[in-house]
Amino acid sequence: MREIIFDTETTGFDPQTGDRMVEIGCVEMIDRIETGETFHRYYNPERPMPKSAEEIHGLSDIFLSDKKLFADGADELLEFLGEANLVAHNAQFDFNFLNAELERCGRKAISQFRMIDTLAIAKVKHPGAKLSLDALCSRYGIDRSHRVKHGALLDAELLTQLYIELTGGRQIGLGLAEDKPEKTATAPVSRRKNLENREFIAPRPHVATEEELERHAAFLKDIKDPLWARI
């Protein structure tokens, strides 16, 4: 199963009021194993960066001024995402911005059915606890010492580790590690070949033999005052 863990950085909180996505970082996983494939882009938001947002992620107007527009890079992003489920922390926020950018350049919005929200998972596992990415990384012992400011790819990499912990830990994927697929398309083919070469054992008959029935009848006959005889 292919999944994309992703994060975005933006100019604010609401794409409906003109805020834009300025960075996206994606990490590919197949069968809960990171493949090493990532996608990372900055985008020119075509509007000034508010100081409050710049203080969070450090992306200034000058830095973003020579970056391509989202519309010019939409196809390469969609190609990387493919049909995979998309995992994010507080995922509705990231989906809103991603879909707003896609709709702005005439692309089809990504279905909410593909959304997996690690914040919702964490709320179930740790009710009442602090559930920010930082707090959850501390809870699960995930090293974030190199995280000075928010960054889409860095946060996606941290979230990848957190997602694995929230959904059962590394032990679930241990059996798959030896067969780590290099590309998405090759994984199902490998499994099908294994099934074709597998030797299947004929089902064991479950009807009692005459000898077994006789032994059972003799056993019941020796029981003194059985409960079923009182009915």
Is 126 labelled a binding residue? no
Give phi and psi for 103, each to the nearest 5. Answer: -65, -35
Q: Give whole-number Cα distances, 111 to 84, 98, 116, 147, in Å.
A: 11, 11, 11, 31
Closest Cα to residue 100, out of 59, 38, 45?
A: 45
Is 61 labelled a binding residue? no
Is 155 labelled a binding residue? yes
Give phi and psi for 29, each to the nearest 5. Answer: -125, 140
Instruction: Compute the distance between CA of residue 166 and CA of residue 160 in angstroms, rounded to an integer.
Output: 10
Instruction: Compute the distance between CA of residue 16 and CA of residue 39 in angstroms, rounded to an integer.
Output: 26
Residues taking part in catalysis? 150
Look up tokens 């009848």; give the residue. Answer: 217
Annotated binding site for a divalent metal cation: 7, 9, 155
Annotated binding site for substrate: 7, 9, 57, 155
Annotated binding site: 7, 9, 57, 155
